[in-house]
Amino acid sequence: MTATMQPAITNSLTQGQLHARTPWVTLGLGLTAAAGIVALITSATGSEFSLVGAIALGALFYLVAIVVISRLVEGQRKATDRFVTALVSGAFLIAMAPLVSLLFTVVVNGSARFDVEFFSSSMRNVVGEGGGAAHAIVGTLLMTGTAAIISIPIGLFTAIYLVEYGRGPLARAITFFVDVMTGIPSIVAGLFAFALFAIFFGPGVRMGFAGAIALAVLMIPVVVRSCEEMLRVVPNELREASFALGVPKWLTILNVVLPTSAAGIATGIMLAIARVIGETAPLLIVAGFTASMNYNLFADRMQSLPVFVFTSYANQGVDTQAYLDRAWAGALTLILIVMVLNLAARLIARAFAPKLGR
């Protein structure tokens, strides 16, 4: 609209309202003023220009200005509304700050050692520079894979029980305890695996399989929850049509219910894997840490990628920077794996979402 000249037509509905662009202009002015002030202070004290400080100050200016302007033009109630709108949008931006900062830091610091050697060599006989996380990546794949092999059947069949068979107190108990299990701290799962294996192998037990058990304890409830949700989405008409054709219940589940929800189940499983692949604490306890490659799940310590990141940071050798670089490169690898799993899961879910008749 080019109604900036003179209000030729007075619309009674928009009387006493701020123009739609006013908040944005106010925000721009506030930020500019704040940047100016911070720049002045900077030149006076000789310190570095603080972008965070400028944005925070600008947001404060905007908050005050918009409330005052709105109070004068629109009245108290609208002013409160604008105040809350600014706060709520600010909350979202504040939450974005750590995410952006974290991703930025990991990419910048991690790219230093994100090279071929990092993925092709282990830490055996490496004291300073060089070395890599091949042993940790293999360990992570082995343990997470074993955990998935254990927890996917249990989780999927439990979901089938809850949706297709479960009635009465047992189903209610399982639902409740699956929820409770979701909240088990990961370190407690690690202690459980340790307590279990210490009975058979003595108090100093460290092995990859125990780590897989700990991960499975954490993974099962996530698989159950997501599979259950997906199975419930399958329309009942499909089941009834199958029963009407005389198909037994188990074949109905196998040939009708599961294929319909396959994409959703795949998504849920991938998200569950993404959740446990970054677990550090349980593996630190039961799988231990080592510098060497270990392909055997049932003997000796086994390194994993998150534990590699932790130990590289915690036990820095003489050449501190080399250890830190490896830690950050490991963190970058880990984040990439998790993000790819997450994105792939979302894409699968979106591409193969069950077509409901609506």
State in angstroms the smallest separation of the CB of 117 from other proteins.
21
CA-to-CA distance for 233 and 230, rounded, in angstroms?
5
> By CB under 8 A, is residue 259 in contact with other proteins?
no
Q: Which of 33, 69, 191, 348 binds other proteins (CB under 8 A)?
A: 191
For other proteins, the binding residues in 97-126 under the rule CB under 8 A are 98-99, 101-102, 105-106, 109
- Which range of residues in 36-44, 93-101, 114-122, 128-136 is near other proteins by CB under 8 A? 93-101
Output the smallest distance, CB 8 to other proteins, in A. Answer: 28
Interface positions, 9-38, toward other proteins (CB under 8 A): none
Interface with other proteins includes 129 (CB under 8 A)? no
Contact flag: residue 90 with other proteins (CB under 8 A): yes
Helices (H), the chain: 22-45, 51-73, 76-110, 116-120, 134-160, 168-182, 186-201, 208-233, 236-244, 249-252, 258-260, 262-277, 281-286, 305-314, 320-351
Ramachandran angles phi, psi of 289, nearest 5°: -140, 150
Q: Segment 297-316, which members bind other proteins (CB under 8 A)?
A: 306, 309-310, 313-314
Interface with other proteins in residues 44-83 (CB under 8 A): 77-78, 80-81
The CA-to-CA distance between both ends of the chain, in Å, stands at: 39
* Cβ nearer to other proteins, comparing 134 with 217: 217
Let me know how long the chain is: 358
Binding piece for other proteins, criterion CB under 8 A, among 15-23, 112-120, 179-187, 292-300: 179-187
How far is Cα 188 from Cα 282, in angstroms, rounded to an integer?
8
| φ/ψ of residue 89, rounded to 5 | -65, -40
